[in-house]
Amino acid sequence: AQTVTQSQPEMSVQEAETVTLSCTYDTSESDYYLFWYKQPPSRQMILVIRQEAYKQQNATENRFSVNFQKAAKSFSLKISDSQLGDAAMYFCAYRFSWGSGNTPLVFGKGTRLSVIA
């Protein structure tokens, strides 16, 4: 079974600084997708960034970027120029695609990020 591990239950960062959240996963599949979701205090899940495993180039979305290491099965999230609004729970997730369907997302346990003013 696929598993996703986030080894940092809590992290903190100074405003305007950079922070990296770690994620590793276990799979025997070659074609899959990885995601980072943000859950602010409102508890609404927000997609931050996604990565297709077949793409070697790391995904970026404004201040958010990933370091995707396929051989190491590692998918870390880097947040640059951290802002107070980045304070949230962050979840790493995985799914693979098959035939005409999808598998459900498998989530890590999350990392709670605090941003210090």
Partner 1 sequence: DGGITQSPKYLFRKEGQNVTLSCEQNLNHDAMYWYRQDPGQGLRLIYYSQIVNDFQKGDIAEGYSVSREKKESFPLTVTSAQKNPTAFYLCASSIKQGAARGYTFGSGTRLTVV
Residue count at the site for partner 1 (CB under 8 A)? 28
Please report whether residue 107 would count as binding partner 1 according to CB under 8 A.
yes
Please report whether residue 97 would count as binding partner 1 according to CB under 8 A.
yes
* 3-state per-residue secondary structure call for the chain: CCEEECCCCEEEEECCCCEEECCEEECCCCCEEEEEEEECCCCCCEEEEEEECCCCCCCEECCEEEEEECCCCEEEEEECCCCHHHCEEEEEEEEEEECCEECCCEECCCEEEEEEC
Please report whether residue 11 would count as binding partner 1 according to CB under 8 A.
no
Closer of 10 and 81 to partner 1 (Cβ): 10
CB of 68 to partner 1, least distance (A): 14
Contacts to partner 1 by CB under 8 A = 6, 9, 33, 35, 37, 42-45, 47, 50, 52, 91, 93, 95-97, 100-110
